Structure formats: C-alpha cells, structure tokens
Amino acid sequence: MEDIETPAEDLLDVAETGIEEEEGPGTVLGRISEGIRSWGPAIFAVLFIRTFVFEPFRIPSGSMVPTLLVGDHVAVTKFSYGIWVPLTLVDIPFLDMAWVVPRYELLKLSDPQRGDIIVFRYPQDESTNYIKRIVGLPGDKLMVRDNQIFVNGVAQPREYTEKYDFVNAACRATKTRRYVEDLGGMKHDILTASGMGGPLADMPEIEIPAERYFVMGDNRDFSEDSRRWRFVRPDQIKGKAHLVWLSWDGCSGGTGGIRMDRFFQNLYAPAQ
C-alpha cells in the first residue's frame, strides 16, 4: 500500500485516589474541574505541537526505498512552508461519508523546493497521508523516460551504483538497480526494476500548472504517484520530512528488528 500512517494517540491513565467515591453532582464537577486543571495544559501543548510544529509518521510501504524503508518513523515539521488552519474531517453518518474542510494558510513562510520530501493528503482520498519527493515545480515542463526525469528539456543525471534487494511490506525481496540521481543539484538514491520498467516508467511531457507540485517516489517502479494521478496542491501539503528518528524491521523477529543505524538519519544527507 502507498499511504503513510500516523502513530496511534497515547492514552492518559488516571490513578485511583483510594478515597471512597461520594455521590452528588458537586463532587463529579469538582473532579472534572481538577482533571482539566491537571491535564489541560499538557493536552493543549501536545495538540498545539502536533498541529503546528511537529508530527511523527510511520512508513508502511516501499515507495520511497532506499531513502525511506518500510518501518521507518519520520519527523515532519508542520511549519516548513507556512502556518495553516488544520485539516478537519466532518463525519456525516446518514450519508456514510466525511467532508474534508479545506485548510487555510494564516502565514506563508516559504515555497516547497525541488527535492523536498513531503507528507501530503492523497489527492484521491484526502483522509489518507502519502509521502513522496517533489520533482516538479509550478510552471515546469516535465517528462519521464525510462524512469529518468527531464525538467524543461534537461535530463537529470543519474549514475548506476549497485544491485539492490528491495524488500516490501510483505517481506518479499525484488531485484532492483540502485542509482544516484542529481535532481537540480540535490543528489539522492533511487531504485528501478532490474528488468523492464513498470507501467509508469515513461510519461510524455506535461506542463505543471500554477500552484501545483509534481511528486514521485524514489522507488520508481514501485510507486504510484503524480505520474498516475498528477498534482498536489499547496493546501494538501502537511509538512516536510527531515529525519528518521526510529526504525523497525518488521521482517526480522525479536530485537533484531531494530535498525539502530537509521536512528536520526538525515534524509537530505548527500548520496554516497
């Protein structure tokens, strides 16, 4: 699957006082008031940080391998490009649907750049989060030929480095080829299939509209991205991914599943 998951919320356990509970609305209201005074500031701080500052996400699929592995946990800054009124999902039970309230930008800080790794609301289902790399900016003319990107008619250089065994979320290994791609001066690793390219390996030249971004996975033949469903709007971008703060290999049992070498790995470190 292609989506990116948000970790489950922590539950707050309230210890029993050992005092026999008394009946009466005053006592109940008093306990509620005390709970709000005790936990309110902490809950508010957590919600504020997750809404406007920082949010962790878990990688459930292999579309960004080798940059991001299945089981990586990434740190995403929510304020990288601006301050937004957060997304709201309004459930409509009798229609069996949810209405996505559009986000509103309060303060613009910067524009997304080519090479940025972003978390965004999947354009075809905005209740789902995706993570990809920006390869095309507004106004660019972009083409893909045998998984190589052409920006405004210029091929983005890539250099073959080695064979690579890509392991997906189902723990199945696939032979691929690893390259270092130079995307407008940003070098990073990508993968392509060892045999024939996938159905998205070639795309005719298109022009990216204003206020739209074209994104692709680094695992070129195992990523469904803008080559299929086209563009990401600025209001769909939730933030910029910066580093891996935790990594767990679900295909290894016991403590062997912890990938210590990936802890606090910078996602924009120069490719070797």
List active site positions.
63, 132
Which CA distances in Å does 197 have to 136, 156, 160? 21, 18, 15
Beta strands in the chain (DSSP E): 54-58, 72-77, 82-85, 88-92, 97-101, 104-108, 117-121, 129-136, 141-145, 148-151, 154-155, 158-167, 173-183, 186-193, 203-207, 213-216, 231-232, 237-247, 265-266
Phi, psi dihedrals of residue 36, rounded to the nearest 5°: -65, -45
Sign of CA dihedral 145, 147, 150, 156: negative
Gap between the Cα atoms of 56 and 37, Å rounded: 27
Sign of CA dihedral 237, 241, 246, 251: positive
Neighbours of 31 (CB within 10 A): 13
149 neighbors 135 (Cβ within 8 angstroms):
yes
| 3-state SS class at 113 | coil
Count of positions (residues) in the chain: 272
